[in-house]
Amino acid sequence: MTATALQVAVLDDYQNAAREFGPWHELGGKAEVTVFTDHVAVADRLVERLAPFDAVVAMRERTRFRRGILERLPRLRLLVSTGMGTAHIDTEAATELGITVSGTAGRAQPAAELTWALILGLARHVAAEDAGVRAGRWGHTVGTDLAGATLGVIGLGNLGRQVATVGQAFGMRVIAWSQNLDPAAAAAAGVEAVPKETLLRTADVVTIHVRLSERTRGLIGEPDLALMKPTAYLVNTSRGPVVDKAALVGALRAGRIAGAGLDVFDTEPLPPGDPLRTAPGTLLTPHIGYVTAGSYQAFYSGAVEAILAFLAGNPIRLLTA
State the CB neighbour count (10 A cutoff) for residue 228: 23
- The fraction of the chain above a pLDDT of 70, given in percent, is 99
* Domains of the chain (ranges, CATH numbers): 6-107+292-311 (3.40.50.720), 109-284 (3.40.50.720)
Distance CA 204, CA 187 (A): 20
Calpha distance 250→93 (Å, rounded): 39
Report whether 118 contacts 283 (CB < 8 A): yes
With left for phi above 0 and alpha for psi between -120 and 50, is residue 119 left, alpha or beta?
Answer: alpha
Q: Residues 102-149: pLDDT tens digits?
A: 999 888 899 999 999 999 999 999 999 999 999 999 999 999 999 999
Q: How far apart are CA 309 and CA 303, in angstroms?
A: 10
Q: Is 60 exceeded by the pLDDT of residue 155?
A: yes
**What is the reported pLDDT for 108?**
83
Looking only at the bridges linking them, the beta strands covering 192-193 and 173-177 are parallel
Q: What is the pLDDT of residue 3?
A: 54
Q: Rounded to an integer, what distance in angstroms lies between the CA atom of residue 82 and that of residue 302? A: 8
Q: How many C-beta atoms lie closer than 10 Å to residue 69's C-beta? A: 18
The 10s digit of each residue's pLDDT in 58-109 is: 999 999 999 999 999 999 999 999 999 888 999 999 999 999 999 998 888 9
With a pLDDT cut of 90, the percent of the chain lying above it is 95
d(CA 46, CA 145): 48
Q: What is the pLDDT of residues 29-66, one digit of tens each?
A: 999 999 999 999 999 999 999 999 999 999 999 999 99
Which positions are catalytic?
239, 268, 287
Residue 101, helix vs strand vs coil: strand
Contact present, 295 and 107 (Cβ < 8 Å): yes
